[in-house]
Amino acid sequence: MKYRLPLLAALFVLLLLYVTAIAQNAIVGNGTIPPGTAAVYLPLVRKSVPTATPLSVGVVVKSSKIASRPSNDFIYIPGEIINKTSVPVYLIRVTGRFFDAKRDLIGERDTYVFSGVVLPGKVSPFVLTASKKAGQIATYETVVSYEAVSSTDFQPLTVISKQIGNNSGIEVSGEFRNTTDNEIHGAVVSVTFYDAVGKVIEADRSFVDVTLAEVQKASYAINLGYNFAYSSYVVQATGY
């Protein structure tokens, strides 16, 4: 009797080692464990996985601010978007949400940027308007949406000259040329004014009702209606 317990214990240890060995070798080629076989769970080894770089980060507002335009009824917020995608985008819409000092929503308006198409890495201006009757705007937010395709054949045109004049306020004028392979039947010419650090302080546009064949040119004029200080300006044109 005194030898029976140590013998049973030894047999139990041998049986346990045998079962463990079978379990460790039970996983077959397809990665499954046969039914009725005890699974042995091993600790996972954490491996670093490279983070994929997004192909695009969207279309975003690059800068905007409340302008000093003289008006009794509206507040104007010029700005510009930048296309950070890898493809042209169309009909870009900017929605502005306006808040008072208590962070209560007092208004919401949307508008389209001035260029019907914006190529990768390029910018286009816009101007949001808000009614002063809604209340005093303390802060605002912008949200951008756009279309991947368009039924209208928007085409960037080439601005070949620009100059600043005064016609009851700042006026920008010059010429643009149809450098596309198609005839255009109208154009939108826009101007964006910047401060010393490249932030937008004002923007406006003019619609030019003209039909131009390839390489033909036309003139434009954009009247801002008031005077203000600026450091630089850029003129863009889009045909359709």
The answer on 136 and 99 residing in a single domain is yes
- The contacts of residue 41 (CB under 8 Å, 6+ apart) are none
The answer on 143 and 63 residing in a single domain is yes
The per-residue pLDDT for 72 is: 82
The per-residue pLDDT for 211 is: 98
Residue 8 lies in a domain: no
Residue 76 lies in a domain: yes
Residue 110 lies in a domain: yes
Instruction: Point out the domain boundary residue: 147, 176, 210.
Output: 147
Number of structural domains found in the chain: 2
The per-residue pLDDT for 68 is: 86
The per-residue pLDDT for 140 is: 95
Domain boundaries, position 80: 59-147
Tens digit of pLDDT at every position of the chain (240 positions) = 444 545 555 555 455 444 444 444 443 333 333 344 343 333 333 333 343 334 336 999 999 999 988 888 899 999 999 999 999 999 999 999 999 999 999 999 999 999 999 999 999 999 999 988 777 899 999 999 999 999 999 999 999 999 999 999 999 999 999 999 999 999 999 999 999 999 999 999 999 999 999 999 999 999 999 999 999 999 999 999
Strand partners, 171: 165, 223
In order, the DSSP letters of the chain are: -TTHHHHHHHHHHHHHHHHHHHHHT---TTS---TTPPP-PPPPPP---PPPPPS---EEEEEE-------SSEEEEEEEEEE-SSS-EEEEEEEEEEE-TT--EEEEEEEE-S-SEE-TT-EEEEEEEEEGGG----EEEEEEEEES--SS--EE-EEEEEEEEESSSEEEEEEEE--SSS-BS-EEEEEEEE-TTS-EEEEEEEEE---B-TT-EEEEEEE-SS----SEEEEEEEE-
The answer on 161 and 119 residing in a single domain is no
The per-residue pLDDT for 49 is: 38
Cα–Cα distance, 6 to 170 (Å, whole number): 105
Contact present, 90 and 147 (Cβ < 8 Å)? yes
Residue 92 lies in a domain: yes
